[in-house]
């Protein structure tokens, strides 16, 4: 907005001319028209309205064709990254759920057949065990797949191709924009893209796998040993408690004699300890 437009607006609205006394510095600083109007006190709050044409285009595009899931790319362009990530996650999660759905149906059918023809509890327990292991593996695999999808969305929505291209010539700039700044390795030319990339040698990676696997195995063996020791201690404590109760019951089993008042009296043997 030029100063002439602002003066015309002030005259039309009947505002004080003192408002445009210091308006020159705002005009010279290339401030937006909304900022200048806010300085003049003509507006206080800004509320972004919908672009009806763009919204209608998204709506028409979704219902014009048969789509199981909405177009997350267009929703992200209109509503922002958070909405885009939400719909990408819901789409991925719904696709991932098909695996436990199919596995659960198979297990249910096998349980029904086993209950009608065999009635073998061992088979039923085996089916439940297999399904439990499958769900654990499914959760781990789906988590890794979603991490890949998330990183792909970040690179696709916020990546800058020019910066990434320049980063292949500048190692420090590549580390600055890398999604994994803690990753370290040696620089080499990629066999796929022909660009420079950080590479960690496979031999060192396998050595770390072996070391971490050995440490994990030792921890598992220690956990198994502790559990077995606790179970044995619990069984020993239970046996000792039962033996003590049996001995106490036998010890205090005396002869019942009737006293003069007709009451029954238990007289324990002399070798039994006196109850406290």
Distance CA 231, CA 225 (A): 10
| Residue-number span of the structural domain to which 10 is assigned | 3-40
| Domain total of the chain | 3
218 and 127 fall within a common domain: no
30 and 90 fall within a common domain: no
Check residue 26 and give its pLDDT: 59
Which of 159, 188, 222 is at the close of a domain?
159
12 and 73 fall within a common domain: no
Distance CA 98, CA 142 (A): 12
Closest CA to 36 of 48, 13, 20: 20
**66 part of a folded domain:** yes
Distance CA 107, CA 95 (A): 20
Quickly list DSSP for the chain.
--HHHHHHHHHHHT--GGGGTTHHHHHHTT--HHHHHHHTTS-----PPP-HHHHHHHHHHHHHS--SS--HHHHHHHH-HHHHHHHHHHHHHHHHTHHHHHHHHHHHHHHHHIIIII--HHHHHHHHHHHHHHHHHHHHHHHHHHHHHHHHHHHHHH--HHHHHHHTT-HHHHHHH-S-TT---EEEE-TTT-SEEEE--HHHHHHHHHHHHHHHHHHHHHHHHHHHHHHHHHHHHHHHHHHHHHHHHHHT--EEEE-TTS-EEEE--TTSPPP-
78 and 136 fall within a common domain: yes
pLDDT in tens, the chain (276 residues): 566 666 676 667 666 666 666 666 656 555 666 666 776 676 777 666 777 888 888 888 877 877 888 888 888 888 888 888 899 999 999 999 999 999 999 999 988 888 888 777 888 888 888 999 999 999 999 999 998 998 888 877 765 545 444 444 444 444 444 556 667 778 888 777 777 777 888 888 899 999 999 999 999 999 999 999 988 888 888 888 887 777 766 655 544 444 444 444 444 445 555 444
21 and 73 fall within a common domain: no
96 and 155 fall within a common domain: yes
């Amino acid at each position: 907005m030029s100063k002439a437009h602002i003066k015309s607006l002030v005259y039309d609205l009947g505002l004080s001319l003192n408002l445009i006394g210091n308006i020159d510095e705002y005009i010279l600083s290339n401030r937006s028209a909304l900022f200048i109007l806010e300085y003049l006190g003509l507006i206080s709050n800004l509320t972004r309205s919908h672009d009806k044409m763009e919204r209608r285009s998204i709506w028409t595009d979704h219902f014009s064709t048969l789509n199981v899931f909405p177009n997350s790319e267009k929703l992200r362009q209109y509503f922002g990254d958070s909405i885009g990530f939400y719909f990408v996650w819901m789409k991925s999660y719904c696709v991932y759920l098909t695996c436990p759905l199919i596995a659960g149906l198979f297990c249910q059918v096998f349980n029904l057949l086993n209950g009608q023809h065999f009635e073998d509890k061992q088979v039923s327990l085996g089916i439940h065990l297999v399904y439990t292991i499958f769900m654990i593996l499914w959760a781990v695999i789906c988590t890794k797949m979603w991490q890949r999808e998330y990183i792909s969305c970040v690179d696709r929505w916020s990546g800058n191709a020019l910066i990434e291209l320049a980063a292949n010539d500048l190692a420090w700039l590549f580390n600055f924009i890398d999604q994994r700044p803690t990753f370290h390795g040696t620089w080499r030319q990629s066999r796929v893209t022909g660009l420079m990339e950080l590479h960690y040698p496979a031999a060192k990676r396998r050595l770390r796998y072996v070391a971490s696997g050995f440490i994990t195995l030792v921890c598992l063996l220690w956990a198994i040993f502790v559990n077995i020791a606790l179970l044995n201690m619990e069984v020993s404590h239970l046996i000792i408690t039962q033996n003590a109760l049996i001995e106490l019951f036998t010890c205090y089993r005396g002869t019942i004699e009737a006293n003069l008042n007709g009451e029954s009296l238990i007289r324990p043997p002399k070798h039994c300890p006196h109850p406290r």
